[in-house]
Structures are given as structure tokens and as C-alpha cells.
């Protein structure tokens, strides 16, 4: 294995691992705060039980997310020192701000998790809300830095060096904000559907349990509204990409030819040799409509880019199709759920819908990871679009296969343990007696002025 | 301050200091978990765990802040360090992952004692290895062997850090963390007997710190000659060294007379001054003998922006940390965490 391939694999693997925890760290605190808010309003003990279970989950997942995030901050240097030496000053600001957001998150998560008996209910809820907001801020800052790698701004390139760096302009790069919004919504969507699905699976076996009923309602509300909003955010991101990173859009769409009235390829396999996308459903003018909101707009195809600057078109196109396909599917599930809830009352009564939710459980995360593949692989061979190639950024350290194997093994073990712990402590069905015990323990304390 | 790079370097040093005083003690706690002994072994471990649980993640973020300020403000130094010290840094991050995850896994394995202990063992070993790696990195930076030209490490990937001096600094760092933890735990222990346990541990580890300090100084003669000669030249560093010695003695006396809160403050000042003494003898170099602070620094507008952002961030951060500490470290240990 070549060292650059090992480095790229290690970075990809670390991100694929971390992103799951980061996404849950963005979304689960919001869900847990909603549950606690409902408990304070309704005094329905099942809501408190949901909040406490999800808080436990957040504790485990946040810890693993925190350490795997630390690994990434080091890996930026361990794998890509020449990139960091070159561009650290330009992308450092969002990372520094992310550091403070992470601080706030960690501090108030400590207060939320271990302060149930030390602070008043209002302050406790506020601590949870601060965790939820700072999680969103962290995700935003990281995406602003990644956006800069796609659409670098705020500097002049003189003699191969970045000069006159303006960190605020660099942060306001065109890709940053649309990417951040897309990622934050993706986190809500992925974590919401995953949680709803797991509770649906358990509810199928234990349908009278009000714990699962409450959990599904909150998770589906968060995940479902996010996935519907995602359609709008995805459109904005795609139009930004068409204008600023046309090669990536062309690879996403498997679009080899520049033309006006470009068709949209749904599915299909791009063949780089023959320069066509086979077996796809073609919608005339579809791509022009989507990318520029005009049926006759000219969309740049891959033919405008020298072939040695193409990303892996097959991977990018397929990952994009998976993301969009699953997103559309989840929008349908969310709409069906909303309709059923409005017409028939509690969703937990509907066995078929619970089965559907359980089947959809992993799909949000599959879509999120595919989207990440689209943005990262789609930027190749550049680490900074049109400024620095990935091959020029990699470390000179030899033998990079060794850390790749080490970290892959480590993360596989961690993933297995986390899944096992979550199934035992967070999502297992509580007995009615346990729900009451949790509330019984809490009511007098929370009732204190 | 005229030079923004010196100001940011001071902020960086302050962040390192906070990390050592807060996060370092959490590592030290892990070592005391490994060394728990006597009839109150179980109680010692529980005390350590309760002391670390609500705060370790917040304390850990200081390290993240150090890393991001380093690459944002001093990208050339970050690139050189991560290239030449790739191996100890890789071990360091593996240690960080193992420590954090095993700690939280242990917390959820309360039912099954053997599994609980197994996670505890991984936690304790990772808590021992990680500080040594941190010290090795600091030692290597001080030794003058971290030389990177055009992305290539001139001394290869072993020689910059695999030597007596970096390893001695690694053990010195470990001893400091262990000492801090023992002193803090004397304050946090509610029971008299537990307090006595940690008082004894604090006295022993304090003596080891003194020995390690001397050992590091002697090893610097060949391992970090520039720093060694800097320490011998009369300068402000001497005053800092003198103050360090005084606080070390104060911490000892306070421990002997069971004035634990005084001992905590003295130990914090002692360890903080050791760090600043190192920083002063290192200056004006970032990488000893090769790259000065100003050579490593980004352009002034970038630095000023970072300083401004850090100042704004700290305005939010310090009240929050104060609130966290007040909730969990202000003599209300009788309220359960769960």
C-alpha cells in the first residue's frame, strides 16, 4: 500500500468513525432537552426516563467523540504536516473557535450529566440547551474549515505561499455555510431516525411501553423535520457547488459533457473510459434546472477539466446517488409518519409503521457518510481546491500502513463496545416500575423551589 | 505587547499550564488508581473516580486548544513537530483514546466486578503512558534535535526523541502529574483515613518530583545543552527557579502539617512555575536552537485575530469553568453524582 493511500485511508477511517459520534453529539442533546422540557411541563415520568437514558447515551458517545476528535486534530499534522504548515494560519480560526465551542459543550455536559441533584430544574434544562447549541456551533466551525478546502478565499498566492491571509474572509468562504447547514441537518436526521428506529424495534416487542412511545415521538419529530429541511439545504449546496466547484458537481452527476439543458442522471454507472454514464434514468434539462434553476443553463461537465484533475467519478457518483436516494426515502417516511399521526393518533399503535421505522434506522447515517464521501472524494486530487494537491500535503514519514492498521483495529474494538453498552444501558426497555422509580427519586428534588 | 507572536506564545503557555494543572492531575489520578493499595484500595479508587468524572472532559479540552492555537498561530512549528515527532505523538493519541474511552466504559460496567477492573486497568495504564509521551515531546522540542527542512526530518523519525533527555523529561512530567493528583485528593477526601493515605502518597511523590527535577537538570547537560547553559546564566530564570523551590518546600511543610488547601495552592504554583521556567529558558526559540517564536509565527493580522478570538472565548470560558468547579469541587461531595 502506498503511503499516500494509507494516509488517506486513515484520515477517511478516522472521520467516518468520528462523524457518527459528532453527529449524535449534535442531535442527542437537543432530543434530551426536549424530553426533559416535556417532563417539566407534563410531569409524565416516561419523559424523564427518556431524558435520563439519552443523557447516559450522550455521556458514552460524547466521551468517545471527544477523544476521536482529539485524534483528528493531531492527525491533521501527523498525516498532512505540509498542508498544515502551508494553510494552518488560514483554517486555524474556525478550529480555534471550535475549541471554545467544544469547551462550553464539555463544561455544561458535565453539569447536565452530574448536576441533576445540584442545580435547579430550570438551570439544569438550560445547561442541556447550552450543550445542544454548542454542539451545533462546533459542527458549524469544522464545516467552515472544510468549506475553505473546497472554495478557498481570503488570501493571495505569492511564490507558492499564502500571503495577506484574512482569517474572517477565509471563514466566509462560499462553501462553508451551506455545507455547515447541510451537515447539521444531516446530524439531526441521522441521529433522529437511528433513535426512532431502535425504539421502534423495541416497541414492536413491548408495545404497551410508554417509554418507547415518547422516545419515538421526539426522535421522529427531530429527524423528520430535519430531513424535510434537508431538501432545501441540499439544493442550495448543489447550486453553490455548480458555481464554485464545477468538477465535483460533474462527478456527482456523472456528467461528462458541458452543455446547456443538461440532463439529470438518476442512478447509472459512469464509465470514465467511454465518458458516458450508462444504465441511468435521464431526465431532460433536469440538471440545468437543479443546478441553476433554469432549464437552458449551461452546466460544466468533466470535459472542461483535465483528466488528471478528476476525482474518482464512479465513487463520487454512486455515493451521491445513495445520499439523495436515502434522503428522498426518509422524507417520504417522515411525511407518512406525520400523516398517520395526524389521522390515526399515536404511531406506536401502527405495527407496519414501526417495522418501517426499524428498517430505516441506519439509513440516515448511511446517507450522512455517503455525503461525506461525496464532499471529500469529490475534491480530490486537491486537498485545497486548485491550490494544493493531496499528494503534496502528505507526511514524509514512511510506513504509514502501521498507524492505519493500529487505528482501524482500535476503532473497530471501540465501536463494538459502544454498541454493546448502548444496547444494554440506553435503549433496553425499562420496566414500568423503573420509570416510576426514576420519577419517584426525582420529583421531590425537582419540586424544590 | 508589541509583538503579537510573543503574546500568542504566552497564551499558548498559559493553556499548557491549565492543561497540566487540571488535565495533568486527571492522569495522575489514573496512576494512583493503578497504585491503589492497602485496606482502603476500593475507597481510594472511588474517590479518584468521583473526582475525575464530572471534569475530565472539560480539562481535556485545554489540550485541544493548545493544538489548534499551535497550528493556527505557529503553523511552521506544528508541521515540524508533527513530522519529526510522529511516533511519540501517535502513541500519545492512542493513549488519549484508550484513557478516555476505558474510563467511561468502566463507569458503565458497575455490575460486573471483573470487567470493571479490567477497564480500570486499561484506564490506569493509559493514564501512565500518555503523560510520559507528553513529556517526551516537550523534551524533544527542548533538545534541539527537531530539525525539519522542506517537510523532511533531518534526524529521521527516531533520533529526535529517542534519547535519555526526552525520556527523563517524560518521567518528570509523569511525576508532576502524580504529585498534583495526590495533593488534590487530600483536599477532596472526606474521610480522615483516606486523607492520610493521599497525604503519604503526596509526600512520597513530592520527593520523587524533587529527585526527577534534579535528574532532568543533569540530563539536560548533554541532552539539551542550550537550555542547560541558559539555566546556569544569572537571569530572571533564577528568580523563577528560586520561587519554584520555595513553593515546593511550602507544599511539603503544608502536607506535613495537614494544611491541605495550602498544600494544593503551593503545589499548583510549584508546577506552574516549573513550566514557566522551562518556557523562559526555551525563549526566544520555539524549537530549541532551530526555529524562533517569530520564525514559527503566522502573519501579524492572523495572530491578532487569534488573540482577539481567544480573549473573547476566555471571557465565556472562565465563568463557565468557575461554575463547574464550584458545583463539583466545593466541599459538596456528599451529594451523589447520579
**Count of H-run helices and E-run strands, chain A:** 14, 10
Contact list, A60 vs chain B (CB under 8 Å) = 104-105, 108
**Cβ of A69 under 8 Å from any chain B Cβ?**
yes
Residue from B64, B107, B329 whose CB has the most chain A CBs within 10 Å, to mutate:
B64
Strand, helix or coil at A442? helix
Interchain CB contact of A403 with B (< 8 Å): yes
Q: Are A162 and A63 in contact (CB under 8 A)?
A: no
Identity of the residue in A67, A107, A166 whose CB atom sits nearest the CB atom of B97: A67
Eight-class DSSP state of A429: P
Give the closest-approach CA distance of A63 to chain B in angstroms: 6
Give the one of B67, B101, B316 whose C-beta lies nearest to A74's C-beta: B67
- pLDDT at residue A439 tops 70: no
What is the pLDDT, as a whole number, of residue A444? Answer: 37
Q: Please report the residues numbered 107 through 166 in chain A whose beta carbons come closer than 8 angstroms to any beta carbon of chain B.
A: 107-111, 113-119, 163-166
A104 touches chain B (CB under 8 A): yes
Nearest residue on chain B to A83, alpha-carbon basis: B79
Please tell me the predicted confidence (pLDDT) of residue A445.
37
C-alpha cell at B280: 523562559
Contact assignment for B61 to A106 by CB distance below 8 Å: yes
For the ranges A285-294, A317-326, B163-172, which has the lowest average pLDDT? A285-294
Å between A262 CA and nearest CA of chain B: 42
Q: Which of B97, B310, B336 sits opposite A410 (nearest CB)?
A: B97
State whether A68 and B152 contact (CB < 8 Å): no
Cα-Cα-Cα-Cα torsion A84, A85, A90, A94, nearest 10 degrees, comes to: 40
User: Who among B60, B79, B305 is closest to A85 (CB)?
Assistant: B79
Residue A223 contacts residue A364 (beta carbons within 8 Å):
yes
Residue B285 forms beta bridges with which residues? B292
| H helix or E strand, kind and range, residue B184 | helix B164-188
Q: Which of A309-318, A421-430, B79-88, B276-285 has the lowest mean pLDDT?
A: A421-430
pLDDT for A318 = 94
Q: Looking at the complex, report in whole angstroms how far the Cα of residue B29 sits from the nearest Cα belonging to chain A.
A: 18
Q: Which three cell numbers stand for residue B163?
A: 534519547
> Nearest CA to CA, how far is B144 from chain A (Å)?
19
Residue B138 CA to residue B279 CA, distance in Å, equals 10
- Please check the confidence at residue A449 and state whether its pLDDT lies above 60: no
Residues B36 and B46: their CA atoms lie apart, in Å, by 10
Backbone angles phi, psi at A163, to 5 degrees: -125, 170
CA angle B135, B136, B142 (to 5 degrees): 90
Whole-number pLDDT of residue A443: 43
- What is the tens place of the pLDDT at every residue in A118-161? 888 999 999 999 999 999 999 999 999 999 999 999 999 998 88
Which are the contacts of A314, defined by CB distance < 8 A and separation ≥ 6? A269, A270, A272
Mean pLDDT lowest among A61-75, A291-305, A308-322, B146-160: B146-160
Do A71 and B96 make contact, defined as CB atoms within 8 angstroms?
yes
Contact B320 A82 (CB under 8 A): no
Three-state SS string over B117-133 comes to HHHHHHHHHHHHHHHHH
Task: Show pLDDT as tens, one digit a residue, over chain B (338 residues).
Answer: 568 999 999 999 999 999 999 999 999 999 999 998 888 988 899 899 888 888 888 888 899 999 999 999 999 999 999 999 999 999 999 999 999 888 888 887 766 778 888 888 999 999 999 999 999 999 999 988 888 888 888 888 888 888 899 999 999 999 999 999 999 999 988 889 999 999 999 999 999 999 999 999 999 898 888 888 878 877 888 888 899 999 999 999 999 999 999 999 999 999 999 999 888 888 888 888 888 888 888 899 999 999 999 999 999 899 998 898 888 876 555 566 65
B91 → chain A, closest CA residue? A403
Q: Is A441's pLDDT higher than 80?
A: no
Residues 208-237 of A with CB under 8 A from B: none
Report the pLDDT averaged over residues A293-316: 91
Q: Write the residue in B80, B94, B332 that is nearest to A406 by C-beta.
A: B94
Nearest to A63 among B57, B89, B93 (CB): B57
User: Most distant CA pair in chain A: distance in Å?
Assistant: 74
Helix (H) or strand (E) holding A162: strand A161-163
Across the interface, whether the CB atoms of B305 and A116 are under 8 A apart is answered no
Q: Does A167 contact chain B (CB < 8 Å)?
A: yes
Interface test with A, best of B93, B102, B123 (most A CBs within 10 A): B93
Taking residue A1's Cβ as centre, other Cβ atoms within 10 Å add up to 10
What is the mean predicted confidence (pLDDT) over A299-315? 91
| CA–CA gap between residue A37 and residue A25 (Å, rounded) | 19
**A64/B80 Cβ within 8 A:** no
Q: Which carries the bigger pLDDT value, residue A178 or residue A447?
A: A178
The alpha carbon of residue B165 is apart from the nearest alpha carbon of chain A, in Å, by 23
* Integer angstrom CA distances of residue A22 from A25, A156, B258: 5, 33, 45
Q: Do A73 and B60 touch (CB under 8 A)?
A: no
d(CA B98, nearest CA chain A) in Å: 9
| Nearest CB partner across the interface for A70, out of B76, B96, B298 | B96
Q: From the list A59, A93, A108, which residue is nearest B72 (CB)?
A: A93
The CA distance from A109 to the nearest CA of chain B, in Å, is 9
Do the Cβ atoms of A69 and B64 come within 8 Å?
yes
Whether the CB-CB separation of A172 and A153 falls below 8 Å is answered with yes
For residue B294 the three cell numbers come to 517569530
Better pLDDT: A441 or A4: A4
Query: In the predicted model, what is the mean pLDDT of residues A373-393?
Result: 93
A446 pLDDT higher than 50: no
Amino acid at each position: 500500500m502506498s503511503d499516500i493511500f494509507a494516509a488517506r485511508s486513515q484520515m477517511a477511517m478516522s472521520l467516518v468513525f468520528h462523524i457518527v459520534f459528532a453527529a449524535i453529539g449534535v442531535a442527542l442533546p437537543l432530543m434530551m432537552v426536549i424530553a426533559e422540557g416535556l417532563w417539566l411541563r407534563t410531569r409524565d415520568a416516561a419523559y424523564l426516563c427518556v431524558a435520563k437514558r439519552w443523557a447516559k447515551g450522550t455521556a458514552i458517545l460524547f466521551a468517545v467523540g471527544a477523544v476521536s476528535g482529539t485524534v483528528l486534530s493531531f492527525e491533521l499534522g501527523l498525516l498532512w504536516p505540509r498542508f498544515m504548515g502551508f494553510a494552518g494560519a488560514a483554517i486555524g480560526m474556525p478550529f480555534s473557535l471550535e475549541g471554545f465551542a467544544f469547551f462550553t459543550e464539555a463544561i455544561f455536559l458535565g453539569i447536565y450529566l452530574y448536576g441533576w441533584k445540584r442545580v435547579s430544574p430550570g438551570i439544569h434544562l438550560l445547561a442541556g440547551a447550552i450543550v445542544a447549541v454548542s454542539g451545533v456551533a462546533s459542527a458549524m466551525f469544522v464545516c467552515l474549515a472544510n468549506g475553505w478546502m473546497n472554495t478557498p478565499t481570503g488570501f493571495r498566492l505569492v511564490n507558492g505561499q499564502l500571503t495577506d491571509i484574512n482569517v474572517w474572509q477565509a471563514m466566509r468562504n462560499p462553501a462553508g455555510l451551506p455545507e455547515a447547514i447541510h451537515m447539521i441537518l444531516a446530524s439531526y436526521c441521522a441521529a433522529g431516525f437511528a433513535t426512532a428506529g431502535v425504539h421502534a424495534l423495541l416497541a414492536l416487542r413491548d408495545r404497551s411501553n410508554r417509554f418507547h412511545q415518547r422516545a419515538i415521538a421526539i426522535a421522529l419529530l427531530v429527524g423528520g423535520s430535519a430531513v424535510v429541511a434537508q431538501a432545501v439545504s441540499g439544493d442550495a449546496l448543489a447550486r453553490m457547488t455548480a458555481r464554485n466547484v464545477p468538477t465535483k458537481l460533474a462527478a456527482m452527476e456523472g456528467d461528462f459533457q458541458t452543455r446547456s439543458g443538461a440532463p439529470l442522471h438518476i442512478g447509472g454507472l459512469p464509465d470514465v473510459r467511454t465518458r458516458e454514464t450508462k444504465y441511468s434514468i435521464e431526465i431532460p434539462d433536469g440538471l440545468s434546472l437543479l443546478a441553476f434553476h433554469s432549464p437552458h443553463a449551461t452546466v460544466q461537465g468533466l470535459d472542461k477539466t483535465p483528466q488528471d484533475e478528476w476525482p474518482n467519478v464512479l465513487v463520487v457518483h454512486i455515493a451521491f446517488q445513495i445520499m439523495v436516494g436515502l434522503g428522498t426515502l426518509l422524507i417520504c417516511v417522515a411525511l407518512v409518519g406525520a400523516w398517520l399521526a395526524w389521522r390515526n393518533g399515536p404511531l406506536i399503535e401502527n405495527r407496519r409503521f414501526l417495522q418501517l421505522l426499524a428498517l430505516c434506522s441506519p439509513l440516515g447515517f448511511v446517507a450522512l457518510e455517503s455525503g461525506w464521501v461525496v464532499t471529500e472524494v469529490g475534491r480530490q486530487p486537491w486537498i485545497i481546491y486548485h491550490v494544493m494537491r493531496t499528494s503534496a500535503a502528505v507526511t514524509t514519514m514512511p510506513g504509514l500502513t502501521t498507524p492505519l492498521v493500529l487505528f482501524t483495529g482500535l476503532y473497530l474494538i471501540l465501536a463494538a463496545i459502544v454498541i454493546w453498552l448502548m444496547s444494554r444501558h440506553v435503549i433496553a426497555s425499562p420496566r414500568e416500575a423503573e420509570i416510576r422509580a426514576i420519577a419517584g427519586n426525582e420529583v421531590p428534588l425537582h419540586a424544590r423551589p | 505587547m508589541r509583538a503579537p507572536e510573543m503574546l500568542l506564545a504566552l497564551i499558548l503557555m498559559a493553556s499548557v499550564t491549565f492543561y497540566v494543572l487540571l488535565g495533568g492531575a486527571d492522569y495522575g489520578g489514573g496512576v494512583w488508581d493503578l497504585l491503589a493499595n492497602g485496606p482502603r484500595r476500593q475507597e481510594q479508587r472511588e474517590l479518584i473516580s468521583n473526582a475525575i468524572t464530572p471534569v475530565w472532559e472539560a480539562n481535556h479540552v485545554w489540550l485541544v486548544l493548545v493544538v489548534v492555537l499551535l497550528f493556527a498561530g505557529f503553523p511552521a512549528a506544528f508541521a515540524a513537530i508533527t513530522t519529526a515527532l510522529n511516533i511519540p505523538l501517535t502513541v500519545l493519541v492512542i493513549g488519549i483514546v484508550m484513557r478516555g474511552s476505558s474510563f467511561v466504559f468502566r463507569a458503565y460496567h458497575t455490575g460486573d466486578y471483573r470487567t470493571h477492573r479490567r477497564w480500570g486497568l486499561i484506564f490506569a495504564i493509559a493514564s501512565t503512558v500518555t503523560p510520559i509521551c507528553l513529556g517526551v515531546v516537550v523534551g524533544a522540542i527542548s533538545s534541539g534535535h527537531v530539525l525539519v527542512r522542506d517537510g523532511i526530518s533531518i534526524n529521521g523519525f527516531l533520533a529526535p526523541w529517542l534519547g535519555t533527555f526526552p525520556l527523563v523529561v517524560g518521567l518528570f512530567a509523569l511525576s508532576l502529574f502524580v504529585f498534583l493528583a495526590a495533593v488534590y485528593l487530600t483536599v477532596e477526601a472526606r474521610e480522615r483515613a483516606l486523607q492520610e493515605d493521599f497525604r503519604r502518597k503526596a509526600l512520597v511523590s513530592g520527593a520523587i518530583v524533587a529527585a526527577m527535577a534534579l535528574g532532568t537538570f543533569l540530563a539536560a547537560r548533554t541532552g539539551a545543552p542550550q537550555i542547560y547553559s541558559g539555566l546556569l546564566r544569572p537571569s530572571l530564570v533564577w528568580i523563577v527557579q528560586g520561587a519554584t523551590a520555595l513553593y515546593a518546600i511550602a507544599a511539603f511543610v503544608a502536607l506535613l502539617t495537614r494544611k491541605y488547601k495550602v498544600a494544593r495552592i503551593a503545589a499548583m504554583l510549584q508546577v506552574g512555575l516549573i513550566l514557566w521556567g522551562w518556557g523562559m529558558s526555551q525563549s526566544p526559540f520555539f524549537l530549541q536552537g532551530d526555529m524562533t517564536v517569530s520564525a514559527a509565527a503566522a502573519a501579524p493580522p492572523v495572530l491578532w485575530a487569534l488573540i482577539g478570538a481567544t480573549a473573547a472565548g476566555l471571557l465565556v470560558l472562565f465563568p463557565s469553568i468557575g461554575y463547574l468547579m464550584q458545583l463539583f469541587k466545593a466541599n459538596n461531595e456528599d451529594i451523589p453524582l447520579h
